[in-house]
Chains A and B, each alone.
Chain A
């Protein structure tokens, strides 16, 4: 055998492997995708909350998609504190105006962006939230200021249906 020539048999082998790979993929994908969120989980995608009883300086926690959402009616001092922070001092630079469209209401996922614990209200070095698991400190706008969390607490999609009702999702 001096030189290897592509013959009929090589072509058949390659074609067989290719068809086999497609077939294997077609079988494996349903096995993987069945673990993704199912239709019943996706159906619970939005929730409406009545916030008429929430006074300034109070936070309520509601469950949305199995996760806590903090709805805080901020005091004027907290708003002023959040607005006065220099954007350069932030690990994840976001303006307070972009996080709370109506500055009185801060609506955010109550999930620490480090490893998913629920931070404690009115704790930590920045008068905002403190995560007890690995010591992340958040300010009054829910922005990460100190500790291992990489980003600010997430703002979910929400809107005011009327003055007293917030629709999350």
Chain B
């Protein structure tokens, strides 16, 4: 991992490091050469780590007071809110923390899309990221069921029923997931167990995500390969640590605003009604961060195809490094891609909006067009663009546009060879 040999200064440090090289790892992390042009969109990795730790810590505390039983879960959540010391604060941080986690992950994902961070040689980082994102959605869904309110119960019913769309074995799988013939106490207890497990799986994958990142190093806003370390890089500590810390403080202001001023605005009022298997709420909507996929599910009139479309919308992201045929990473040098990028952002926002609206009339029509465009972007626009687009010249190094020349001789050679053709 580290490009230079590291020897601890103290005798004890050396003794320990020879037996377990933790200090070498710490040195690698602090000295880690980082492109010096990273902008604030690159601070969301650190923010996401903060979100994960916040969810794990508040979740552990909540689990000390919560009772995973169909007859007691709802009461125990109210008990946390009213009786447990600071229970309201801890629960509001956990509930809004889920939303903040998704807000940060969407910014993180769209940053990758803009700057081409998913492209070679960073495909494995990207795919691990997609797995983390899938696990986040699973954790969020399972956690939403635990308060055992009306939205918990019916959300669980609708989502588990997605599996019934599988031919032949679908019904059997749903019964197996439920542990009965409907969502009930056996479902709640297993959901609690899995909700507890997944954050630790995510933590493990985050370690792999960062490990895989540290092999090629960070991408950067101009998306070029840089020589490390060189005058194009700065050490992670203190430069990036301070920048990430400042961005995290800004993020925490937004987080605190939700927790202290509008703690329920992102939730749904129906979830303060205890689960009732006889009455479905008039209008079922998932949490905001799942709405685009919900819109895709509803826009397809066939049950099985709707489920397949929804899953494909997420899994297609894993194939992105191969669907995008352009050699240029950053959208800064791709005038056409830049426009399609913003159309995709608008498309996803529109899907999110219609996902919250009833599935009829104009909303349904808009959802269908937006769904079609979503797949068109990945399956047609991106592959074709790589061949058709005239990209603008890419600098040889981060400093070249200002200082001229390049510390990266390989890149100079490569550009010269292109000129000859």
Contacts and interface: CB of A to CB of B under 8 A. Distances in A.
A132 B360 CA distance: 11
Contact of B278 (A38, A61, A135, A147): A61
9 contacts: A41-B179, A65-B180, A66-B182, A66-B184, A67-B277, A68-B277, A117-B158, A148-B301, A150-B303
Contacts of B281: 132
A115 B359 contact: no
A117 B180 contact: no
Given A36-B179, A38-B186, A117 B302 contact: no
A14 B194 CA distance: 36
Interface residues of A, number: 27
B179 A37 contact: yes
Interface in A17-48: 32, 35-38, 41
A161 interface: no
B177 interface: yes
Contacts of B180: 37, 41, 65-66
A134 interface: yes
Given A36-B176, A41-B180, A114 B279 contact: no
Given A65-B180, A66-B180, A148-B302, A117 B277 contact: no
Nearest to B184: A66
Q: Please report whether the interface of chain A is mostly helix, strand, loop or mixed according to DSSP.
A: loop
Nearest to B301: A148
A67 B303 contact: no
A130 B282 CA distance: 11
Contacts of B283: 132
Contacts of A134: 298, 359
Interface in A107-147: 114-119, 131-135, 147
Contact of A65 (B181, B282, B304, B306): B181
Nearest to B303: A150
A87 interface: no
Nearest to A132: B282
B280 A132 contact: yes
